[in-house]
Amino acid sequence: MAQIWKVSWNKKLYDYKKLIQDFNSNHHSGIIFQSKGKAHMVNLPQVNDIVYVSCNKQHIITCTVISNFIYDGNEENNDDYNLGNIERYHSDNNTYLSMKINKIHINPTPLKGCQRTWCKYKPP
């Protein structure tokens, strides 16, 4: 059975509005390379797990995991939506997985982020 995860994005570090705009206008493939972050994770997201993306305390995107984590990848260097310094402190371990956008939430609902990049999520 698929797990549900919550990924938290920082609106100061990631241009999520441009990503949504590009996706809606067919200028984005719908594939997101998401960093693992620095936290030690005992359980990892698996292919076909569902991901709720939270930014600015809102549920903005729902995705499906389409790859396991790739170690020593450099996808972050190719991310047009990364704001500022590419070597962000939480993603400098070069560990990413791929997620496919299922839905952009036009009217986002409240969904607080967490201190960790990845958290398991149980809908209310």
| Contacts (Cβ under 8 Å, ≥6 apart) of 86 | 76, 77, 79
The pLDDT of 59-78, averaged and rounded, is 81
Mean pLDDT of 45-59: 95
Placement of tokens 């020593």 in the chain: 72
Q: Assess contact for 66 and 98: CB atoms under 8 A.
A: yes
Quickly count: other Cβ atoms within 10 Å of residue 70's Cβ: 15
More confident residue, 122 or 77: 122
CATH 2.30.130, domain 4-120, yes or no: yes
Using one digit for the tens of pLDDT, what is the confidence trace for 89-102? 545 567 889 999 99
pLDDT class of 1 with cuts at 50, 70, 90: confident
